[in-house]
């Protein structure tokens, strides 16, 4: 059974997140509500705090955060505090991050850095005093002065690069490539992850993030999607190479319909039927969702309930 969630971006005024969180939780089909951690938008942890305070059921967490601006202990602190505030509903998405080029940051050995971050987060949550040697050393005294509510939280990796995805098969609970709508890239990446996990005697779930813009006014929804996709395309090297897309060119209909669920509820219904046939473990709907986000959530929930219900039936 595919699980469904929603990912909000930091593109809304801070005071809007409580109402958006409640709007997501009103729809039982959504089991998770994450927030995209991008440096140039509003900071993710205050938003997650607001979401945790105004929800009772959905899992909450960043999708994804990374170790290139803060030490992994800060990530561990934040996720532990979020888990405490949400009474055990925290999840953690990790990745290599995006839009860091203006800071001149070079993400060398990203797969190893993300793996080590996950290991350290687990170490700190468990209050493990075992010395750790690596790019972020931690001695026996590197332990929280308080006890996090859970010694471990679910960790998934947001990755579309084959190297990161295959490496994550050794330690992650799930791999979620973003920008999935056409299924060819998803099926190729999932096969890589499953082979890597099987070689290690592991089973790793593979889900996906779907960028979505839905509205009964189809043209309005697609125009919003073009603007958003144009911003992200230069960050998506593995996917643009796979599909033969020029990331600097205008977003035409082929590119849009390959990487973005954009249009009317009927458009989304047809595309979601195709996506669910590929059996993703998780589908998280991401971005501004539509010209009217609350109305988009209602439309999206209706589509998911119809299509997922038919798939189960």
CATH number of the domain that residue 189 is part of:
3.20.20.30
The closest of 266, 279, 263, 283 to 311, measured between CA atoms, is 279
* Residue 216 resides in a domain: yes
Distance CA 5, CA 33 (A): 6
Model pLDDT, residue 101 = 87
* Residue 197 resides in a domain: yes
* Residue 82 resides in a domain: no
* Residue 132 resides in a domain: no
* Residue 25 resides in a domain: yes
**In which domain, by residue range, is 233 found?**
3-67+155-312
Greatest distance between any 2 Cα atoms in the chain = 59
Distance CA 24, CA 5 (A): 9
In this prediction, the residues of the chain whose per-residue pLDDT falls under 50 are 312-313
Q: How far apart are the first and last CA of the chain?
A: 12
* Residue 27 resides in a domain: yes
Total domains present in the chain: 1
* Residue 134 resides in a domain: no
Distance CA 115, CA 20 (A): 32
Distance CA 34, CA 286 (A): 9
- Give the count of beta carbons closer than 10 Å to the beta carbon of residue 106: 9
Alpha helices in 139-236 (DSSP H): 162-168, 184-199, 218-232
The three-class DSSP label of residue 37 is coil
* Residue 114 resides in a domain: no
Q: Are 269 and 306 in contact (CB under 8 A)?
A: yes
Model pLDDT, residue 313 = 40
* pTM recorded for the entire structure: 0.95
Q: Are 149 and 85 in contact (CB under 8 A)?
A: no
């Amino acid at each position: 059974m595919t699980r469904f969630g929603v990912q909000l971006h930091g593109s809304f005024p801070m005071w809007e997140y409580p109402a958006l969180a409640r709007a997501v939780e009103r729809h039982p089909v959504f089991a998770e509500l994450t927030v995209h951690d991008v440096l140039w938008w509003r900071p993710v942890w205050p938003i997650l705090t607001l979401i945790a305070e105004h929800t009772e059921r959905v899992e909450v967490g960043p999708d994804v955060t990374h170790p290139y601006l803060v030490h992994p202990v800060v990530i561990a602190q934040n996720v532990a505090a979020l888990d405490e505030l949400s009474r055990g509903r925290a999840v953690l998405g990790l990745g290599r991050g995006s839009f860091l080029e203006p800071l001149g940051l070079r993400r060398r050995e990203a797969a190893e850095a993300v793996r080590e971050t996950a290991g350290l987060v687990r170490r700190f949550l468990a209050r493990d005093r075992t010395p750790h040697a690596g790019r972020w050393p931690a001695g026996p005294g590197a332990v929280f002065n308080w006890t996090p509510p859970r010694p471990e939280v679910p960790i998934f990796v947001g990755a579309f690069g084959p190297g990161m995805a295959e490496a994550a098969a050794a330690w992650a609970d799930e791999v979620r490539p973003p920008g999935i709508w056409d299924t060819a890239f998803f099926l190729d990446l999932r096969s890589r992850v499953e082979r890597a996990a099987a070689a290690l005697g592991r089973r790793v779930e593979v889900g996906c993030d779907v960028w979505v813009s839905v509205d009964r006014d189809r043209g309005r929804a697609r125009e919003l999607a073009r603007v958003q996709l144009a911003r992200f395309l230069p960050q998506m090297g593995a996917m643009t190479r796979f599909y033969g897309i020029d990331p600097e060119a205008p977003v035409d209909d082929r590119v849009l319909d390959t990487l973005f669920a954009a249009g009317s509820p009927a458009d989304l219904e047809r595309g979601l039927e195709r996506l669910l046939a590929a059996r993703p473990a998780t589908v998280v709907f991401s971005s501004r969702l539509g010209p009217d986000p609350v109305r988009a959530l209602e439309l999206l929930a209706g589509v998911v309930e119809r299509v997922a219900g038919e798939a189960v039936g």
